[in-house]
Amino acid sequence: MVASTRWARAARALAQTALFEAGAVPYAVLTTQPLWRTNGGRLAELAQLAPGEHVLDLGCGPGESAFGMADRISGLQVTGLDLSHAMVGLARARSSYDRAGHAVSLRQGNAERLPFADGTFDAVTGHSFLYLLPDARAVLREAARVVKPGRRLVFLEPAAAPRSALTDVVRARAARDPRFTASMVLWRAVSRRYGRFDERRLCALFEEAGLEPVEAVPTLGELAIFGVAQRPVPTKVTDIAWERWKPKDDATLLFVVREGQVLLIRKKRGLGAGKVNAPGGRIEPGESPLEAAIRETREEVGVTPTGVRFAGEVSFQFCDGYALHAHVFTATDCEGEAIETDEAKPLWTLLDRIPFGEMWADDAHWLPHALAGRRFAGRFVFDGDAMVDMALDVTP
C-alpha cells in the first residue's frame, strides 16, 4: 500500500510537471493581470514583511505574485522558485522589463528539497500552490525549516466555496476583465479535481507540518482563501527537526593544548565579539573542516597547529533563525608564537582556569570532554546570548 501510494504521488508529480512545462505560455497569459498581481501583493502584507526583508515565493510560475510582492513593498527582496524550467524561464524574461524585476531573483528547484539553510527567509509564500502538491505536508515542513522562527508563511488557495460564488464573480467582472474571468473558470475546474481548502483543512495541514495556524482570510468573492501560519520559536532541542536541519554557516573551532595550557582567544569582531573562545571560523568553499581549522588558527593568532585531531561537533539553533554547525578539533602543539591580530587576542590559559564565565554557555558542557579526548556531539538552542536548552552525547 505504501509503495503504491508513493508511485501514485510520483506519477501525479510527473504529470503536473509535464503539464506546466507544456502550458507555461498559456498560463502566463492568463495570470499576467492586475488582480493576480494585487493578490500577490497581499501575500506580502499578510506575511507582515517590511522593506529590506527577504521572502521565498514557492511555485512562483511566470512570476506575477513575486513581482506583485516586490511592487507592494519597496525594498523587499523576493526569491521565486518553481519546479518548471519553462515557468522560471518566462519569469526571468519578464524580470528584464518588469518594473519590479530588479527585486526578484528566480531559480528552478523542488520545494520538497529546498536548497536553503535553516531560517534563511523572513517569510514564505505561495499563490495557487498547495492544492496541486502530491505531498503538501512534506513541502510545508521544508518551508517551515527555511523561514525564521516566529515568522509567517502565507498561501492563497482555491476555497471550498458554494457553486454560486463563481457565477457572482464572473457576472461582476466578465465584461471588463475577460482574462480574469477565464483564469477563474479554469482555476475552479482544475481545483475541483485536485482539491480545495476551507479554514479547517488549512489549519490541520499546517499543524501536521509543525506550524502554528494564525488566520484564514477569504478573498475573490469567497472563491479563494489566504491561509496564514507561522514557524514556532524553538525553546527546546526537541522543537527542532534535526534530521532536516541545515545550518546557515559551517565552521570550525581548534584548541591547541600543550604543557598544561590551552590556547584561547578573545574575539574582536563577528559573532561572539568580546567573548573568549577558540580560534576558528567559517569553512570556505572547497575546504575540508580540518583545512579550515588550521587556516583560521593561522589567520587569527599566527600559529600553525600540529598533531590535530577531530574532537566532536556542536550544532546551534538561535531563536532569531540563525543556525550554525561547528567541527571541533584539538592539537597537541603549534609552530610559531601566538600574536594579536585584527580578529583576536591570544590567551594561553591553564587547563584548570578556563574562564567559562566569559565564554558561550555551552562550552562548559562539552569542552572538558574535548580536552579529555572524548568524542561528543552537542545540540543547543540559544536566545541571543542565553542558552535555553541543550542535548549532549559523549562517547568515551
What is the C-alpha to C-alpha distance for residues 112 and 119, in angstroms, rounded to an integer? 16
Check residue 189 and give its pLDDT. 80
DSSP states of 300-333 = HHS-EEES-EEEEEEEEEETTS-EEEEEEEEESE
What is the C-alpha to C-alpha distance for residues 97 and 223, in angstroms, rounded to an integer? 31
What is the C-alpha to C-alpha distance for residues 38 and 71, in angstroms, rounded to an integer? 9
Check residue 125 and give its pLDDT. 98
Say yes or no to pLDDT of 14 above 60: no
For 352-389, what is each residue's pLDDT tens digit? 999 999 999 999 999 999 999 999 999 999 999 999 99
Q: Which CATH class name applies to 2-232? A: alpha beta
> Torsion angle, CA of 88/61/231/134, rounded to 10 degrees?
-100
What is the C-alpha to C-alpha distance for residues 298 and 305, in angstroms, rounded to an integer? 8
Architecture, CATH, for domain 239-395: Alpha-Beta Complex (3.90)
- Alpha helices of 108-210 — where are they, by DSSP H? 136-146, 163-173, 178-194, 199-208
For 85-95, what is each residue's pLDDT tens digit? 988 998 899 88
DSSP, collapsed to helix, strand or coil, labels residue 90 as helix
Could you tell me the end-to-end alpha-carbon distance of the chain, in angstroms, rounded to an integer? 44
Of 154 and 1, more confident: 154
For 254-288, what is each residue's pLDDT tens digit? 999 999 999 999 999 988 899 999 999 999 999 99
Is residue 290 within 8 Å of residue 329, measured between CB atoms? yes
Mean per-residue pLDDT over the chain, rounded? 90
pTM: 0.82
Read off the pLDDT of each residue in 278-302 and give the average, rounded to a whole number: 97
Domain with CATH 3.90.79.10 in the chain: 239-395
Check residue 20 and give its pLDDT. 59
Query: Helix 178-194 to helix 24-31 angle, to the nearest 10 degrees?
Result: 120
Say yes or no to pLDDT of 8 above 60: no
What is the C-alpha to C-alpha distance for residues 206 and 299, in angstroms, rounded to an integer? 46
Is residue 160 within 8 Å of residue 198, measured between CB atoms? yes
Is residue 284 within 8 Å of residue 292, measured between CB atoms? yes
Q: Which residues pair with 121 in a beta bridge?
A: 147
Read off the pLDDT of each residue in 39-63 and give the average, rounded to a whole number: 94
Check residue 48 and give its pLDDT. 97
Percent of the chain at pLDDT exceeding 70: 88
Domain with CATH 3.40.50.150 in the chain: 2-232
For 319-360, what is each residue's pLDDT tens digit? 999 999 999 999 999 999 999 999 999 999 999 999 999 999
For 220-233, what is each residue's pLDDT tens digit? 878 889 999 999 99
